[in-house]
Amino acid sequence: MLYIIGLGLGDERDITMRGLEAVKSCEKVYMEAYTSLLSFGLDSHGLSNLEKLYGKSITLADREMVEEKAHHILEEARHSHVAFLVVGDPFGATTHTDLVVRAKKMGIHVQIVHNASVLNAIGICGLQLYRYGQTVSIPFFTDSWRPDSFYEKIHSNRTMGLHTLCLLGLTHLLSYFLCYFFVLTNSTSIFSNLMDIRVKEPTLESLARGRKTYEPPRYMTINTAIEQLLEVVQEHQQPAYTEDTQCVGFARLGSDDQTIVAGTMRQLQMVDFGAPLHCLVITGNTHPLEEEMLEFYRCRT
């Protein structure tokens, strides 16, 4: 049996009772450690908190293990109960869908335990979830790579009066392979929708040389995302948004010290949202009840 268990967004206590029972029944427990982060981190102290509550030794599974060595995890699940712990909800990243597909093809029974994710926790600001359009992701710009494919989705959402969730804190299953393809072909067109937590990410130079050298972890802030959004919009004659467009910034959503601020892009650029992870919502047309709720988070500067 392979259990894929969502941990929620806060700390080790956010696991569900059903998820905790599943963990305690497993012989091996893996903790996926690169598509997102728990609020208390995954250093030795944070990991020991997990192990103490769950009563199990936990193996951290970085992107290399999950993407390149998943067959080891699946072989263990063929013969015993294995838990794969995921921050948020199990299907918040395509990596985990791929793991489920591979397990089912091998005849391994899979059980999913759901939990809260950023996709529903953003409802705390009062913007109604059914009024959101396509979710977009904002990648870090570089000197030679400044993709803007997310702009058309934002434009489409705002044309329909819908809110847009901009993810700044998830990484894509294919990012490693796309980086490698980029080195070989110098193509930028395939980099259409990567989300950017840079955790244990190989450098392009090391991939070109055939050996992996990893970049230091890097987390996109709301301030950087807005700066890039405003740069992109300058290339369009009929802008989908301006620096006066209303947005909501979130940091460490679901944790005890979460920060939520509503204001214009210009105002949010001046806010220090603190430690990661961050995400941003560009608001569309708002209902009076949504406006009333947003007032509780309004930037006063």
Cα–Cα dist 77/158, whole Å: 45
Long-range contacts of 143-148 (CB under 8 A, 24+ apart): 145/182, 145/188, 145/191, 146/231, 146/232, 147/188, 147/191, 147/192, 148/232, 148/235
Distance CA 35, CA 86 (A): 9
Residues with Cβ < 8 Å from 149, sequence gap 6 or more? Answer: 191, 192, 193
Backbone angles phi, psi at 203, to 5 degrees: -75, 155
Phi then psi for residue 185, to 5 deg, are -115, -15
Report residue 248 as tokens.
């909501």
Binding-site residue numbers are 9, 89, 92, 117-118, 168, 253, 278
CB-based contacts of 98, cutoff 8 Å, min separation 6 = 70, 173
Which run of H or E residues covers position 267? helix 265-269
Q: Look up residue 209 and give its DSSP letter.
A: T
| CB-based contact 62:200 (threshold 8 Å) | yes
Residues making up the binding site for S-adenosyl-L-methionine: 9, 89, 92, 117-118, 168, 253, 278
| Cα separation, 281 vs 122, whole angstroms | 9
Rg of the chain in Å (alpha carbons): 20
- Provide the sign of the torsion angle of the four alpha carbons 150, 153, 159, 160, taken in this order: negative
Give the integer Cα–Cα distance in Å for 2 and 71: 12
